[in-house]
Structure 1
Amino acid sequence: MRINTALKSFFAVAVLGFVACNNSRDYKDNSRATGWDLTGKDGMMKYQTDYEGQKTGPGLVFIEGGTFTMGRVQDDVMHDWNNTPTQQHVQSFYMDETEVTNRMYLQYLDWLKLTFPPTEEKYKNIYVGALPDTLVWRNRLGYNETMTNNYLRHPAYQNYPVVGVNWIQATEFSKWRTNRVNQLLLEQEEYTAEGARFQTDANSTFDTETYINAPTKTYGGNDSLIRGRNSDRLTQVVKEDTIHKYVQRKDGVLLPEYRLPTEAEWEYAALGMSSVREYNQYRGRKKYPWDGQYTRSGSRKTSGDQLANFKQGDGDYGGIAGWSDDGADITAEIKSYAPNDYGLYDMAGNVSEWVADVYRPIVDDEFNDFNYYRGNVYTKNSIGQDGTVEVLTPDNIAYDTLSNGSIVARGLPGEIKKEPVTREDTYLRTQFTESDNRDFRDGDKASGRYYREQGDIEDESKRMYNSPKHRVSVMQDSTGNSSLDRQYDTSSERTTLIDNEVRVYKGGSWRDRAYWLDPAQRRYFPQDMATDDIGFRNAMSRVGSKSQKGKRARD
């Protein structure tokens, strides 16, 4: 009896052990669905099975997402009622450690000049349209010509934040930065030829989305540049046919796009709430990116020093020279002040910063409270007659004529041509029905439903925001020469400056009083205009896990 009992116990333990081993089987290289090998052996499917997580892109720091109260913490002295507190949750993301500097932006301009020589008429507006407006420094009752002539290009200002850049130019810089970073990554991993990034011209540029969707159309179709030494590692032989496989999203090599941060992301990152966290709640709310209610340091070593670059009073942009001076008359060099808890510099003062959102007085948290963003305009890739994506060439560059008459390129050669999402594309979808969602649920009854007349003709009387409509048109004479006809909206019945072309900017600047240093404060400005106190920094979405490291016990 004892032997049988012992045998039963032995077999029970063995069975449990077998089941446990089977359940804990390492599926790293095998499919949990089929058990098949996923490493590409024997001509089968190949996947990235040893991915170690998203790399941090150049210039970025990681911001772990979470919940926070977005909105006002001070009295609403402006009485504009545009930042009522709401509870929001932000997904993990990355953000630039500092603002984009003059030197960073000059690299963009020099690349454009080399790739699309402005001496050629068909490329002229690409470079000219990207130039910052250096005349923003001029004041009719002030002498600022030194900044007008030197601020952008002089090496003394190379590590100062770039200004005079409008929102559209900032977004185009972000696209350029994405492509240059991914271009270098592919070359460093030897998936493209060594030095490929130096051998481009207007007919052989690199674009990340083009490479993913139609790799043979990058670099002008030059296969010697597209494929590097490690390309053979991506090549598979399936059923005796060789498939030349290029890097795809599933390989985890390419980074997501650099972009402007959303307003929620920017405010969350600026607050750096980790210093007032107690387990799963906040002990209080912060007025500034640093701890405390004052703009001067309370530390023993730096007592009395200013914690940001801002205007302290009428005619006082830095204080009395010496001990109490904030070290800057205009903008300050990056990293002149201590970072916040996330390691981000100048999230208050120095320059205000563009964010991605279209401005509306109300943040509609009743409709969404996760990764809130107003400004979605959904597009799709244009498909050519050959059934593949349509790539822009030097002969069909996409331009925008701005309200001030400036011409900017919105689609460079090598990029995929985009087109709006149609009603057929969104048929029976529940989450969106329109391509342009900038004015979705604006707040009044008409815009919350459908405010256009039959035939999609907009009725001016039904516009919620009747901002001025200045119009710029291109006129051609009998000889074929073109000129711009600028028409001002002189109506005296306009009641607002808000429309779908104004964007939020945050953070306070060297021109602002301390009130605007509060990360919750929000203002707006036309997206195609620039000032001497608005700059920008980039963000990047986090793909995969919320945190970079596993949770650990608190110290």
Structure 2
Amino acid sequence: MACLIVYGCKSPQRSEKTGWKYNDKTNGGFQVFKKTHPAPGPGLIPIEGGTFVEGGSADQDIQYDFVDKQRRSIASFYMDETEVSNRDWLEYLHWIKTHYPTDHGLYYNALPDTLVWRRPLSANEPYVNAYFRHTAFQDYPVVGVTWEQANDFCDWRTDAVNEGILRETGRIADWKTASNNGEKVVMPFNTELYLNGQLRGEGIDGKKMMPDLSVGAKPGASGKSTRPVRAEDGILKAHYRLPSEAEWEYAALGVVGKDENIVEGKMYPWSGMGLRSPKRQTQGLMLANFKRGMGDYSGIAGSLNDKADITAPVRSYAPNDFGLYNMAGNVNEWTADTYRQIRADDDDMNPIRGNIFTNARTDASGKILTDKYGHPYHDLSKSGSKTPYQGENTAQNQTKLPDPSVPSRYQSSIDGKPYNPDQRGYNDTVNNVLYAKTTLVNDRSKVYKGGSWNDMAYWLNPAMRRFMDQGEASADVGFRCSMTMEGSAEINPQGKSHIPVKKPKAYKPK
């Protein structure tokens, strides 16, 4: 919880550069809150960043995939402790059904494709109806979801988490008040719209809103001047998203050193070269859920080797050194990256391939325009830097309404702009003449990693990578979310050596 830094202090805090008091309504009311390291959102654990060799754990390349061995640096971030489960996805579907009960298309498009279990020469048909909805599988990883669906889930989760924070702390109307004690469905919430000041008023404002010290702020019903939460208050969480391929590989390896020394290399998320536990109490037990050999998914009755035939619960086997479960086996996991065979030219700091920069679409007053679901419209950026201000009523600032013939935020076919490779390759597009004849790689090809219940041990190595179209799904591909970390890269500074720095000298006007 954020608090004004003036609280609990003997003397008011002042600006180092102007000497003005912070949090003083008589001098303009600039508010500053106590600096804190943000806590991870629900389900996430912190991953301290560092340097690793991407592709460095690969000991063989049977696909001749040219797995690159390049040094990369990864900034500290948050990652889901477990894969997203069936129960998590059912919560998502329930939210859609209660908020848009007549929009059958929206609900249908969010459903996992349970037909991924069908195989002409096997009898896995019962999983089509049972795996996703039966309570016995509620803590198993959700499968049959596309890369696009996974991204939509991340967007929904971001808004759900931030709405929960605001309602339970009284920054907006609490659940009981907003729902009329459960008699109605609470309106859909959007973080971007809230931060833009578009979600305010009766039935929305809470009883414990932030104090507003700005000049001219008028008292509300409580007799005090209040305002919504701002981004700089440090209360709302950052956006949930898919991890980049580099983040995923770094987190899966779980390489934690001491004094910048790594004492051993790793082939898997655990130490050693074997696939069974060497510890006395669990000696001989499998460390992941995978296919041991052709036709061997679980071992022999009475002594199942990995205790799972298809998937296993998301909290199974021992976590790696970062505390992450099932970073090898169980299900493969989507990453954010667009697939290319060679990655040598990728940036060496937080590399990702497939970044698309967009800006929210606003009208002349700065109001963000939304679709019928309350989601902000975003347009492709027209410039790499901030463009000059054009004024409110100029022709350049007139807003063009969305094209109603485009129902989806995702491209349904290949973006066919001319093939024009640049020096580094990040702008490469599809050669439509050769697509499906000499290559299946295009801009819709997304990377997935980790190996699954249906894969041999080779794919458990975090360096291994495969790709699938962003609109396709599989019975052995799921996902987990991540989140960018704000602030210091060092997660646990206690007990570690640091170069001392002085606090700023207190200023007193004379």
Q: Indicate the TM-score class for this superposition, using the shorter chain for normalisation.
A: 0.7 to 0.9
Deviation at 1:45, TM superposition (A): 2.9
SS at match of 1:229: coil
Match of 2:169 in 1: 189
Match status 1:448 vs 2:430: no
- Corresponding residue for 2:5? none
Match of 2:439 in 1: 496
Q: CA deviation at 1:194?
A: 1.0
Deviation, 1:446, is: 4.4
CA shift in 2, pair 1:197/1:549, >3 Å: farther
**1:205 corresponds to which letter in structure 2?**
P
Is residue 346–residue 352 contact of structure 2 (8 Å, CA) maintained in 1? no
Superposed, 1:512-527 pairs within 5 Å as 512-527=455-470
Structure 2 residue 393 is the aligned partner of structure 1 residue 414: no
Q: 1:207 aligns with which of 190, 203, 207?
A: 190
Following TM superposition, by how much is the alpha carbon of 1:342 offset from its aligned partner in structure 2, in angstroms? 0.8
Q: 1:27 to 1:546 in 2, by over 3 A?
A: farther
Q: Residue 12 of structure 2 contacts residue 21 of structure 2 at CA under 8 Å; is this kept in 1?
A: no
Report if the CA contact (8 A) 1:29-1:49 is conserved: no
Residue 363 of structure 1 aligns with which residue? 343
1:87-146 deviation per Cα after TM superposition (whole angstroms, max 9, x unaligned): 0000001111100000000000010011111xx3xx222111000000000000111121
* Contact 1:82 1:522 (8 Å CA) reproduced: no
- Call closer, same or farther: CA 1:40–1:183 in 2, change over 3 Å: farther
Which string of whole-angstrom CA distances, capped at 9 and with x for unpartnered residues, describes residues 431-452 of structure 1? xxxxx9xxxxxxxx9411599x
Deviates more, 1:28-37 or 1:522-531: 28-37
AA in 1 matched with 2:213: Q
Distance 1:132 1:359 in 2: 23
- SS of structure 2 residue aligned to 1:282: coil
Per-residue deviation, 1:354: 0.3
Match of 1:68 among 52, 70, 87: 52
Task: Tell me the alpha carbon deviations over residues 382-420 of structure 1, each in whole angstroms, 9 at most, x when there is no partner.
Answer: 11254422122x2xxxxxxxxxxxxxxxxxx22211111
1:59 to 33, 40, 43: 43
> Which residue does the alignment assign to 2:403?
none
3-state SS of 2:33 partner: coil
Structure 1 segments unaligned to the other structure (5+ residues): 1-24, 395-412, 429-435, 437-444, 452-457, 469-493
Shift in Å, 1:46: 2.9
Query: Where does 1:333-344 land on structure 2 (aligned, <5 Å)?
Result: 333-344=313-324
Q: Which residue of 2 aligns with 1:511?
A: 454
Q: Match for 2:208 among 230, 239, 255?
A: 230
Which residue matches 1:538?
481
Q: Is the alpha carbon distance of 1:550 and 1:465 closer, same or farther for their aligned partners in structure 2, counting shifts above 3 Å?
A: farther
- Provide the identity percentage: 40
Does the CA-based 8 Å contact 2:31-2:213 persist in structure 1? no
What's the CA shift string for 1:263-297, capped at 9, x where partnerless?
A: 111111110111xx342122232000000000011
Matched, 1:111 2:111: no
Native 8 Å contact 2:58 2:464 kept in 1: no
Q: What letter corresponds to residue 467 of structure 1 in structure 2?
A: Y
Unaligned stretches of 5+ in structure 2?
1-8, 220-224, 389-409, 411-418, 498-510
The 5 Å alignment of 1:279-358 reads 279-358=259-338
Higher helix share: 1
Kindly report which structure 2 residues correspond to 1:407-486, keeping only aligned pairs within 5 A, or say none: 413-423=373-383, 446-448=420-422, 463=431, 466-468=434-436
Question: CA 1:27/1:162 → structure 2, altered by over 3 Å: closer, same or farther?
Answer: farther
What amino acid is the match of 2:107?
Answer: Y
Match in the other structure for 2:391 = none
- Cα distance in 2 for residues equivalent to 1:424 and 1:522: 31
Which residue identity is paired with 2:357? Y
Q: Does 1:87 align with 2:30?
A: no
Give the distance between the partners of 2:247 and 2:424, measured in 1 at CA: 30
Q: Is the alpha carbon distance of 1:381 and 1:512 closer, same or farther for their aligned partners in structure 2, counting shifts above 3 Å?
A: same
CA pair 229-73 structure 1, distance change in 2 beyond 3 A: same
Question: Do the aligned residues in 2 keep the contact of 1:310 with 1:349 (CA within 8 Å)?
Answer: yes
SS at match of 1:168: helix
**How far has the Cα of 1:75 moved from its partner?**
3.6
Contact 1:193 1:229 in 2 (8 A): yes
Q: Once the two structures are superposed, what CA deviation does each residue of 1:326-354 show, in whole Å capped at 9, x if it has no partner?
A: 10010001222010011100000000000
What is the distance in 1 between the residues matched to 2:99 and 2:33? Answer: 38
- Contact 1:178–1:258 (Cα < 8 Å) also in 2: yes
* Mapped partners of 1:327, 1:367: distance in 2: 40
Whether 1:102 aligns to 2:82 is: no
TM superposition score normalised by structure 1: 0.76
- Give 1:173's aligned amino acid: F
Aligned twin of 1:251: 233
Tell me how far apart the structure 1 counterparts of residues 38 and 146 of structure 2 sit (CA, whole Å).
30
C-alpha separation between the residues in 1 aligned to 2:481 and 2:11?
Answer: 37
Q: Match of 1:281, SS?
A: coil
Superposition deviation, residue 38 in structure 1: 1.5
Aligned residue number for residue 253 of structure 2: 271
Say whether residues 1:165 and 2:145 are aligned partners.
yes
Three-state SS of the structure 1 residue aligned to 2:46 is strand
With normalisation by structure 2, the TM-score equals: 0.82
Which residue identity is paired with 1:447? P
Aligned with 2:333: secondary structure?
A: strand
The SS at the match of 2:334 is: strand
The 1:185–1:520 alpha-carbon spacing in structure 2 relative to 1, beyond 3 Å, is same
Cα deviation, residue 464, structure 1: 8.2
Larger Rg over CA atoms: 1
Q: In structure 2, how many angstroms separate the alpha carbons of the residues matched to 1:427 and 1:463?
A: 33
Using the TM superposition, give the Cα deviation of residue 358 of structure 1 relative to its aligned residue in structure 2, in angstroms. Answer: 0.5
Partner Cα distance (2:73, 2:113) in 1 = 36
SS at match of 1:537: coil
CA apart distance, 1:53: 1.9
User: What is aligned with 2:361?
Assistant: 382
Task: Check if 1:39 corresponds to 2:7.
Answer: no
Residues 28 and 50, structure 1, Cα contact 8 Å, conserved in 2 = no
What is the rounded CA distance, in whole Å, between the counterparts of 1:281 and 1:225 in structure 2? 56
Shift in Å, 1:552: 2.2
1:358 maps to a residue whose letter is T
CA contact (8 A) 1:379 1:419 kept: yes
Alignment of 1:3-14 (within 5 A): none
Counterpart of 2:53 in 1: which secondary structure? Answer: strand
